[in-house]
Amino acid sequence: MTRSILGIDADDTLWHNESIFQLTIERFIELLGNHAPSDHLTERLIATERKNLRLYGYGIKGFTLSMIETAVAVADEGLPPTVVQRILGLGREMLEHPVEPLPGVAETLGELKRAGHRLVVITKGDLLDQEQKLARSGLGDLFDAVEIVSEKTPEVYARIFGRFGAGEGEAVMIGNSAKSDILPALAAGQWGFHVPYHLTWEAEVAEVPADAPRYRRLSRFGEVPEHLAAIGWNAG
């Protein structure tokens, strides 16, 4: 049967990500503590990051540039080069941070694969960074394909799922972001399994369509097989 394509988001769905950003923001605020109050810094950083998304895209390198830009803007009397060096160091540490799969993810992916589902990672971000994270996660071999895209739109989902031969309602997108993983997948006529992470990046906050017929909210990734069974999907 063809109804066995599972698109799976990576950051905060397969492994921890936003928590690393939040920790880095705390360290950034500490570093700039002499130059601006923390509320103001957080606001400035978020605004700078949003403004730069269009040009830098999603990922740690763009975020590092946004931290530097914010630091330069808030430091009235000029920013010491050592602070820029420390910020670059924060970015490097993020890039080298161990990739820690979320609880139950590896086991569940193994179960889904053994059941015959085709698993496709669909993630946005830096190509190099996302490829390296997948390799370091130890989960890479469980996937049939990896799609690293610059934006997640209904057209992007239609193109990817279409390539696997999925018609309307014949693919499921699984992810933590209502805005990027669920709403555009539903708009493309597919299922959306929403597995919220305990933290949500500001730019990913969106209303979830709780009454949409192809929307499901899960409390953890390990619930994917039972939800697939509940909608009558048996791979093969």
The residues in 173-232 that bind Mg ion, with binding defined as CB under 5 A, are: 176-177
Select the residue interacting with Mg ion from 12, 49, 126, 170 (CB under 5 A).
Answer: 12
Instruction: State residue 180 phi and psi, 5-degree precision.
Output: -100, -35
DSSP state string for 122-152: EEES-HHHHHHHHHHHT-GGG-SEEEEES--
Number of residues that bind Mg ion (CB under 5 A): 5
CB of 133 to Mg ion, least distance (A): 12
Instruction: Give, in degrees to the nearest 5, the angle at Cα 200 between 199 and 203.
Output: 155
Site membership for Mg ion, residue 11 (CB under 5 A): yes
CB of 201 to Mg ion, least distance (A): 8
Smaller CB separation from Mg ion, 61 or 179: 179
Site membership for Mg ion, residue 9 (CB under 5 A): yes
Smaller CB separation from Mg ion, 176 or 190: 176
Site membership for Mg ion, residue 147 (CB under 5 A): no
CB of 83 to Mg ion, least distance (A): 30
The residues in 165-184 that bind Mg ion, with binding defined as CB under 5 A, are: 176-177
User: Can you tell me the distance from the alpha carbon of 122 to that of 143, in angstroms, rounded to the nearest whole number?
Assistant: 11
Structure tokens at 120: 């496709």
Nearest to 99 by CA among 11, 197, 223: 11
User: Can you tell me the distance from the alpha carbon of 114 to that of 92, in angstroms, rounded to the nearest whole number?
Assistant: 37
Residues in the site for Mg ion, rule: CB under 5 A?
9, 11-12, 176-177
